[in-house]
Each structure stands twice: as C-alpha cells, then as structure tokens.
Chains A and B, each alone.
Chain A
Amino acid sequence: MGHVVPRPDAVAKVTGAARFADDYDFPGLLHGRALRAGVPHAILKRLDVAKAKDLPGVVAVLTAEDIPGERNHGLVIHDWPALVGVGEKVRYVGDAVALVAAERREIATQALELIEAEYEPLPVVSDPVQARQPDAPLVHESGNLLKHIKVRKGDIEEGFAQAEVILDEVYHTPTMEHAFMEPECSIARLTAEGRIEVYVGSQIPYADRDQIARCLALPPEKVRVIGTLIGGGFGGKEDIAGQIHAALLAQATGRPVKVLYDRHESLLVHPKRHATQIRVRLGVKRDGTLVAAQTELYGDSGAYASLGEKVMTRATTHSTGPYIVPHVKADCYAMYTNNPPSGAFRGFGVTQSCFAVESAMDQLAERLGMDPVELRRKNALRVGSVTNTGQLLTESVGLLECIDRVEAEMRRLSGGRDPFKPQVVPGAPNRVRAWGLAVAFKNTGLGGGAPDKASAEVELFTDGTAEVRTSSAEIGQGLVAVLQMIAAEELSLPLEKVRVLLSDTDLTPDGGPTTASRQTYVTGNAVRLASDVVRQAVATTLAEKYDVPPEGVRFVEGLAQVNGHSVPLGEAVAMMKAEGREPKATYEYWAPKTQPLGTGGDMHFAYSFATQAAEVEVDLETGEVRVLRVIAANDVGRVINPLGLQGQIEGGVMMGLGNALTEEFIVEEGRVITDRLARYRMPSIVLTPQIIPIVVEHPTGEGPYGAKGIGEISSIPTTPAITNAVYHATGVRVKRLPVDQDWLAREIARRERPQDV
C-alpha cells in the first residue's frame, strides 16, 4: 500500500497490444452509421430510405418503426429516443433518425447521403435562462424545467441582515467537451445461443446492458456487455452512444456490426459539461466571518436529461464552497434546451460552482482589505462543522492542512514577496507574474440517498494466483492497479499473482457506475471484503486440517503458515477443492447510507478537499496568459497507489487549465460551431506548468485503508486559482470562462499598467 507500482495494464498499452473497441474484428463485420438530424429543433416530416437501401453494399437501413422495444433510453429518465420517428420531434442536432449497416464504412457513409429527411423547423431554445422564460418554446412536452434544486439552511434574510459587507456577482461558464482521445465505438453481434454481445468501452456496463435490452425488447440476461479498454471517459462514456444502434443493426442483419463515431460525430452527439450562469451573493462581517450565502444557478442540460439533475444538484450543494455559513439559500434551475445534452463530466457540476464561489471569495477579500488566504482559512470547513446541506462533519476534513501547506509553499516560491502583487518579469516590461489561490471540496460516491453499492468476486486458483472480478471500469484512472493492490494486500500475495478482470456483465458482478470518484472507495471496499472472505475460507480449511483455531493461520507472501508448516496458497486451494469448498467469494459492499438533499442528514459519506495555487504570467500587450507553476494539495484520505495519484493530479490540473484558458464548446442557436477537434482546443504539452503536488492524508473511517476519491477534486480548484492569479497580475477580473485574450488585452489597455511593487 502506498508504494510506487507500475500499472499492470501499462505494458500492453506501450506495445500496441492493448485492444480498444475499434481494434476488434469479427468475420463478416458490417459497419453501422447513424444519420444525424443536423437541425436543433424540428418535427421530422418525412423520411425516405429507399435509395439508401438500394445502394449496393448496404445490408440494412433502420428507422424508428424498426425498434422492437422501448424507443427511449436514458440513465435516469428515459427521454432520449434511439431514433426519432416521422411525426416526432428532433431536439438537438445530434438526434439520430436512421441507421445504416453496410459492407464498408464508405458505403454506409454514402448511404446516409441518400436518405431523404424533411423537417419542419421549430423555434430554438438556446440557453437555460431563455428556457425558463414563460413564453419559451417547449423542448419537452413536460416543460423546460428538468429540476429546480434547492438548498436551505438557517434564515437567509436574517443572515444578510447581519452582514456588514455584501458581494453580489454573476459568473458564466461555457459548455465543455470531454474530448477523450478515443472516439466512441461499439460492436454488437449475435451469439450461437441467440444472445447479443456488445463490445464497448463503457463507464457503466450494467446500465448499458439494461438500456440495450429495453430497446431490443429482450430480457437483460439475453444481452452481454463486454467492456473493452476505454481510451478516456471523464464522465463522457456513461450515457449510451452507439451501443443500442449497433445492437439493433446486429439483430436486424444477423451479422456483427461496428458503430464507430468519427470525431465530428463524437463532438456533436455525446453529453457535455453543463454551461452555467451562477449568481453568488455573499454576506460577511468586517472581520471576514461569512454569515450568509445565496446562489442562483442556471444549468444548460441540453436536449435530454442524462445525468443533468444529479450534476446540477452537486453544483448547487457545492455552490457556497467548503465554508461554514450559517445562512444559506441556493436555487438551481436545470433546464432543457435544444443544445447537445449535458451530463457527467469530471467535477460533476462542482467545477462550475467552484469557479464562481472562489472568484467571489477573492473579490470579497479585496473588499474587506483582507488576505484572500486568511479569508478562506477563517471560514474553512473543519471537523465539527456543518455543511450547507446540514451534514455534521465528524472526520477526514483536511482542508485547513491543504490551505496551510499550499500557502507555505507559495510564499516560499515567491521569495518573500507578496505573491498576490504583480511582478514585472526582468527584461520584459510587458510581462507580469502573480499567484492566485482557490480551494474546493467534492463528494466521494453517489450520495443523496442513492443506494451506493458495488459487488466484487475474488477467486483463488491452484497455481497460487487470484482473480478479482467486478464490472467497474478502468477509464485511465488506474483502477486495475488499485484493485490489484488491495487484493494482494488482503491475501498476502505478491502483486503479480493477482489478475483483475473488469467490465463484463456475464463474468463480473456489478460494480456500479464508474463515476463520482467512487471506485477506490466503493469497489475497493468490495474487493477488500471479498478477499477477506476468501482468506478466511482458506484459513478455516487449514485450521481444520492442522487442528488449530483459524486465527492461528497466518498468510505471508503467497504462503499460509500454520503450526510451523508453510503451505503454498495454491496447495491450500487444492485442499479446499478436494473438500468441495469453493475458493471464491462474492461480496456486495454497501457504502454508508446517505440522505436525500433537504432532509438535513448526511448527504455524502465522504468528501475530498483541495487547495491549489497557480502562478501565471500575462503579456500585458497581447493578453496572452501562461500558467507557470501550480501547487496542488489534495486530501485524499489515504494514498493507495502513488503513480495513479500522480496521473490524476497532473491530468486534473491540466483539465482545469484547459477550462480556464483554452476550452469552449460553442453552440449557437443549437448549432455546434466547435464540431472539429481543430476548433476545440485542449491543452497540449506546451502549456504544461510545473506541477507541485502535496499529499494530505486525513483518512476516512470506512474507506479502504482510509482512502476517498481523487479523480475529480484534483481538477476543480485549478480554474479559479488561475483566474484569481490573472486578476492579481492585471487587475482584470474574469467572470466568464475561458479567459479570452482578446478581451483581456483590451481590458488591460483600458487600465493603467500595474507597477512593480
């Protein structure tokens, strides 16, 4: 535990042997493609597929009427049609209206061009604020409000009455794209037994299975989802992409069908990060004590629900920051629009609200004439605090330590100068540098009363090896390594004796969704406890044989020691088998129960905390911003896999940097402008700052060895740390992401140049 160990899956990934979905081939494989509506809001009036059907090489063309089961899918609400039928509504440009399977991909593409579709355009709902206007066109018959989310604590009027200084600001964050490097790919085929197998890199294999089965009108057992490697997910591979389409085409043709998105389709279709408008109103005493916080959020959930409600709930509950505030009122409107759907994306809504509240805290510090670090430290959550949802924090709150250590490092690196004052770069009078700081928290696990459980199976073999099985997904975060380490630790086996099998709905028990930074905690615990059951079974067998109490059996490095004998584990397994005992166990782990929002109970079983400081350099003439250094402290409970943690921190910081400086998924009147990778720029290696990680370990009692999530927290405070630094360098406050250098240069030109102090 806590040792640097290379990932077991890494070698195959560096030799090219690792197989992602598009790397699979089957005899007779057909290529499937979907015709996308290309209009944001319309009624499909007419659809003629005759010409496409006649094209040589086309094997099947399917439309909505050909769907045997339920038309709609969805992770929470089934509102997303697999195909839009004639007379039905198109709700965003990426809606599919027809499917083609052909012998070659070019033929399928050509066939799509031969399909005639006519639409009657409807007025477009293009942003969430517009969506809430009383006269707004309706995206769904049920109305445009997906959910009004409320957080209430204390008495907000009373809070603001006590306040001596009040800050009121509005911030905007854009839609963002996961841009995982591997575009979505699904392959479906029928088996000899008449079942359907779908190969796909999915974050939630069991949810895929159920959604496929419903649309195909099959019992779930008839569908097997086999998870392939995933070339990045970040939340963007939780919803259905081509899984249902591939299965429908395979069912219709009797042949294997691959549905591979090209980048353009990937950009148009899959759910994004919610664009938001966030108003933050903070009330404080002169000494910096927060007394009231009111927020109002609008979230653009796009055309379909996906995980929109849950994402915006997280945005709302985290919208007043990791601070002690006696009086809180937060309202969020998650709205349907005719934009591409929004769903899960690393940070799950908290990325957006953290930018808003952490910008506001910096502004507030300036108003109070207070050091921005001091203001945060004064109000920071700690053990014994009550969150704005009414949860009493009883353990594992490492925020203060994160703040202290980042501040110390930042001050050390600034060499005694005020890190928040602009420094002119020697020899380059047009360039200034300054630091900015931000803090964050993020729940681990689903929370809010959702049953959060994972199953894992552990089996021992006579060759002394073990296999761990669970349907959880490896999306690059290093889960395989973590589960391998946990099982090895519990079974006292060398690492290389433990194999990990993931993501197969036939062979692996349900690990639940790979989301919410929950895998190490929830699935990790399932593996830990399943391993424990198996180990005890071995101990019992040996105890009987050597006539000692089971506690007398010790496990060391692949051996069981009992009564002075050393029995190799494999031999012990053979004994078990000879006695008809199964050397395997499945454990269904239930994470501690949580309470729904509004009940005042524990909404989450754990939170991770972080503080980051970023140093930026701004070219005052061109408005160009570079991030030079980032200090990142994360309270992750307990480090299990340092290499995995390193990757999560580096990747998280870079994603936060992209969020601050480079990324904006542009949709205008429902039409996607950034529909090529060339137009959606994610940070490249040249933008990489020096990243200085600081690990803070405040263990959480239930977590495996004390661990809680890291996957998301590492990227959340980066963005406001950078924009706060931009402010300190230039005096220009960024309230709309990403930082637009064009705007920044013009704003700077309008001000006096800051002087070196």
Chain B
Amino acid sequence: MALWKQYVRPGSVEEALALLHAAQGPTAIIAGGTDLLLDMQQGRHPPVDLMVDVSGIREMRQVRQEGERIELGAALTHHEIIESPLFRERGRALVEACSLIGGPQVRNVATIGGNVAHALPAGDGTIALLSLGAEAQIASRDGRRWEPLEALFAGPGQTTFDREREILVSFRFPASGPREGSAFRRVMRPQGVAIAILNMGAWVRCGPAGEIADVRIAVGPAGPKPLRARGAEEALRGRALDEAALEAARLALLAEARVRTSRHRATAEYRQHLIGVLLRRTLYTAHARAAGEKVTA
C-alpha cells in the first residue's frame, strides 16, 4: 500500500493547521521525512491519507535574533544550522550536534523540528537544544504557545503535543554571550544504528574567577525522555571546575540518569562509565569556550 494518498505543501502554518483539521482520515506532518518515512516503510508508523509537508513554510525557516535571544524555525535543516555563523558563535552545542547527524544528503533535508518531534531520548539536536535552555513554540487551532523544550516529551517517541493536529513552529534560546560557552559530544558505536550510545550537551557561564557561575547539562539516552541533568548542574554551580566538582557532578548525574542496557548496542555499565568520560570532555570544552579559548574538536 502507498505510504500516503495525498501530499500537500502548504505555504503557511495556518493553512497547514486547516488542512490537518479538515482531514478525515489519518494524517502526518512531514518535514525532511528522514525519520518518518523510514518508520512508515518499516511498519513502525501506519500509512496515512494526508501528508502535510511543512518544510516549505517561510515562517518555519527563519532565524531571528531579538536582543539576547535567538529564535529559529523548526523547519531549518541541519545543514542550514551548521552553515550559520550566528549559531556557530552563540549556540555552539547545536552546531556541533547537527554536524554529526547523517551525511550531507540527510542534513540537507532533515530538520531540527523533526529531530525534536521524533522525541527520541538521545536525538542529537534535541539534547543540544535542551542544554541551550530552549523553549518551543507550538501552533494549534487554539493559538500559539511557548513551552520549555523538556515539557514536549512524554516518553520514547512520544510527545505531549498532538503531532497530527499541532505544529512545532520554532525554538528560542538565550544566545551565548561573553563568558558563556557550550559544547556537544557523543560516543557512537561502529556497529549498528546511528544512534548515540550516549550524548551530552553542556552550557557554562564563567564567573569572574573562572568558576562555574551557571551551567546546563543535557544527556541521552538516560531515561524515557531527553534528560536535563539538574542534579549535576546543582553540584557544579558556583564551584571551580576541578576534579572534586567533576566527581560530585558525576555522582549526581549517575543518580539522576536512568541508563539501561540496549541489546546489541551498549551495556548499562558502559554507559555509566561514559557518563563520567563525556561529562569531563563536554564540560571542559564548554568551560574553555566560556573562558574565551578556541576549542575546535
């Protein structure tokens, strides 16, 4: 059976919402389709009557800087994000995450919105956005609303918003300023699917003495939803980034992360071990950037 009966490419969010609501049978929103189509072809998502392609909606493809806040459309591709000097300077973790997704062919069509809406606990773009303190704008027939990114996830692959009736329009996050920096790291496995064994995003603001004045850490997969590691953040806030602080953060993170063994991919023991490794690497890089050092890899 064909994966869809009708394919539409609306020009605005409102038009898209109207189409979704008018539809009788099952519908799906498609952006790049790099997750959705595979899910459909492999039977994890049923075929639909109406496919609503949001990838061409102008509003969803814009980048805006308002004061110290950056807003980016959900239909921006990973490629567009990597190429943008604005993100490179002021949202480095996101650029690092998006540049690791797929190859250029995938990055040319896959979107940041799709990465978030797919709701995997370890989506690379999602974890980076989470560490940048992002919020998401959702459009429904009743209007628009902003929600903290964390609030969008209900479980693995599950969202709190209705993906057949509501559209993820954009994200916004505070632009990293002076004495602030971010980084994203992940560990993959050379065998099997392209999902991180563990990934991590971190954002750090340095205090006057180089101490961690403020910090955000996100990690996946560390539970059914992308995890914002508030315990680890708390353990670090106000402290110098030294071995003791790192160890305190590691223990806090181990306590809040629910890591599991995934068959044929990783043991829980390895993931626990990697939590310490990635925490050190990601934090040091973010911190160095906050302190004004240039760190590329």
Chains A and B touch (C-beta atoms under 8 A apart): yes
Does A679 have its Cβ within 8 Å of any Cβ on chain B? yes
Beta-carbon contact of A681 and B190 below 8 Å: yes
**Would you list the 3 A-B pairs with minimal beta carbon distance, nearest first?**
A742-B270, A662-B190, A621-B277
> 21 A-B residue contacts at CB 8 Å?
A106-B2, A110-B1, A621-B277, A623-B270, A666-B264, A674-B192, A678-B194, A679-B264, A681-B191, A681-B192, A687-B190, A740-B191, A741-B189, A742-B189, A742-B197, A742-B266, A742-B270, A745-B274, A746-B267, A746-B270, A749-B273
Q: Could you say which residues of chain A place their CB within 8 Å of the CB of B2?
A: 106
Does B151 have its Cβ within 8 Å of any Cβ on chain A? no
Beta-carbon contact of A622 and B190 below 8 Å: no
**Chain A, range 600-654, C-beta contacts under 8 Å to B:** 621-624
Does A664 have its Cβ within 8 Å of any Cβ on chain B? yes
Q: Could you say which residues of chain B place their CB within 8 Å of the CB of A661?
A: 190
- Map CB proximity to B onto A652-675 as digits: 1 under 8 Å, 0 otherwise: 000000000111101000000110
What residue of chain A has the Cβ atom nearest to residue B278's Cβ?
Answer: A622
Report the Cα distance A504→B274, complex, angstroms: 56
Does A512 have its Cβ within 8 Å of any Cβ on chain B? no
Q: Could you say which residues of chain A place their CB within 8 Å of the CB of B277?
A: 621-622
Q: Could you say which residues of chain A place their CB within 8 Å of the CB of B187?
A: 622, 624
Q: Could you say which residues of chain B place their CB within 8 Å of the CB of A674?
A: 192
Report the Cα distance A687→B1, complex, angstroms: 39
Q: Could you say which residues of chain B place their CB within 8 Å of the CB of A663?
A: 191
What residue of chain B has the Cβ atom nearest to residue A109's Cβ?
Answer: B1
Q: A106-B1, A681-B190, A687-B190 are in contact. List 18 more A-B contacts (CB 8 A).
A: A106-B2, A622-B187, A622-B274, A622-B277, A623-B270, A624-B190, A661-B190, A662-B191, A663-B191, A666-B264, A674-B192, A678-B193, A679-B192, A681-B192, A738-B191, A740-B191, A745-B274, A746-B273
Report the Cα distance A110→B1, complex, angstroms: 7
Does A676 have its Cβ within 8 Å of any Cβ on chain B? yes
Report the Cα distance A687→B274, complex, angstroms: 22
Min Cβ gap B44→A in Å is 12
Does B269 have its Cβ within 8 Å of any Cβ on chain A? yes
What residue of chain B has the Cβ atom nearest to residue A620's Cβ?
Answer: B277
- Map CB proximity to B onto A218-249 as digits: 1 under 8 Å, 0 otherwise: 00000000000000000000000000000000
Q: Could you say which residues of chain A place their CB within 8 Å of the CB of B189?
A: 741-742
Q: Could you say which residues of chain B place their CB within 8 Å of the CB of A741?
A: 189-190
Min Cβ gap B259→A in Å is 12
Does B296 have its Cβ within 8 Å of any Cβ on chain A? no
Report the Cα distance A749→B2, complex, angstroms: 51
Report the Cα distance A206→B151, complex, angstroms: 64
What residue of chain A has the Cβ atom nearest to residue B280's Cβ?
Answer: A621
Beta-carbon contact of A679 and B193 below 8 Å: yes
What residue of chain A has the Cβ atom nearest to residue B276's Cβ?
Answer: A621
Report the Cα distance A746→B270, complex, angstroms: 7
Min Cβ gap B278→A in Å is 9
**Chain B, range 30-63, C-beta contacts under 8 Å to A:** 42
**Chain A, range 673-695, C-beta contacts under 8 Å to B:** 673-674, 676, 678-679, 681, 687
Among B2, B197, B273, the one with the most A-chain Cβ atoms within 10 Å of its Cβ is: B273
Min Cβ gap B101→A in Å is 14
What residue of chain B has the Cβ atom nearest to residue A262's Cβ?
Answer: B41
What residue of chain B has the Cβ atom nearest to residue A684's Cβ?
Answer: B103
Q: Could you say which residues of chain B place their CB within 8 Å of the CB of A624?
A: 187, 190
Min Cβ gap A244→B in Å is 28
Q: Could you say which residues of chain A place their CB within 8 Å of the CB of B42?
A: 676
What residue of chain A has the Cβ atom nearest to residue B281's Cβ?
Answer: A621
**Chain B, range 260-297, C-beta contacts under 8 Å to A:** 264, 266-267, 269-270, 273-274, 277
Q: Could you say which residues of chain A place their CB within 8 Å of the CB of B266?
A: 742
**Partner pick for B269 among A106, A662, A746, CB 8 A cutoff:** A746
- Map CB proximity to B onto A457-497 as digits: 1 under 8 Å, 0 otherwise: 00000000000000000000000000000000000000000
Report the Cα distance A674→B263, complex, angstroms: 12
Report the Cα distance A264→B106, complex, angstroms: 21
Report the Cα distance A678→B195, complex, angstroms: 10
Min Cβ gap B4→A in Å is 13
Report the Cα distance A740→B270, complex, angstroms: 11
Min Cβ gap B151→A in Å is 30
Q: Could you say which residues of chain B place their CB within 8 Å of the CB of A623?
A: 270
Report the Cα distance A318→B30, complex, angstroms: 54
Report the Cα distance A664→B265, complex, angstroms: 12
Report the Cα distance A673→B193, complex, angstroms: 12
Report the Cα distance A676→B191, complex, angstroms: 12
Q: Known: A621-B277, A622-B274. Contact between A742 and B267, CB under 8 A?
A: yes
Q: Could you say which residues of chain A place their CB within 8 Å of the CB of B193?
A: 678-679
Q: Could you say which residues of chain B place their CB within 8 Å of the CB of A679?
A: 192-193, 264
- Map CB proximity to B onto A394-410 as digits: 1 under 8 Å, 0 otherwise: 00000000000000000
Beta-carbon contact of B190 and A673 below 8 Å: no
Q: Could you say which residues of chain B place their CB within 8 Å of the CB of A746?
A: 267, 269-270, 273
Among A621, A624, A666, the one with the most B-chain Cβ atoms within 10 Å of its Cβ is: A621
Min Cβ gap A741→B in Å is 6
Min Cβ gap B211→A in Å is 25
Q: Could you say which residues of chain A place their CB within 8 Å of the CB of B1?
A: 106, 110
Report the Cα distance A623→B187, complex, angstroms: 10
Report the Cα distance A661→B191, complex, angstroms: 8
Report the Cα distance A746→B189, complex, angstroms: 14
Report the Cα distance A110→B269, complex, angstroms: 44
Report the Cα distance A31→B92, complex, angstroms: 50
Report the Cα distance A340→B176, complex, angstroms: 54
- Map CB proximity to A onto B15-28 as digits: 1 under 8 Å, 0 otherwise: 00000000000000
Q: Known: A106-B2, A678-B193. Contact between A673 and B267, CB under 8 A?
A: no
Q: Could you say which residues of chain A place their CB within 8 Å of the CB of B269?
A: 746
Report the Cα distance A664→B192, complex, angstroms: 9
**Chain A, range 705-757, C-beta contacts under 8 Å to B:** 738, 740-742, 745-746, 749
Q: Could you say which residues of chain A place their CB within 8 Å of the CB of B194?
A: 678
Min Cβ gap A175→B in Å is 13
Q: Could you say which residues of chain A place their CB within 8 Å of the CB of B273?
A: 745-746, 749
Report the Cα distance A25→B273, complex, angstroms: 55
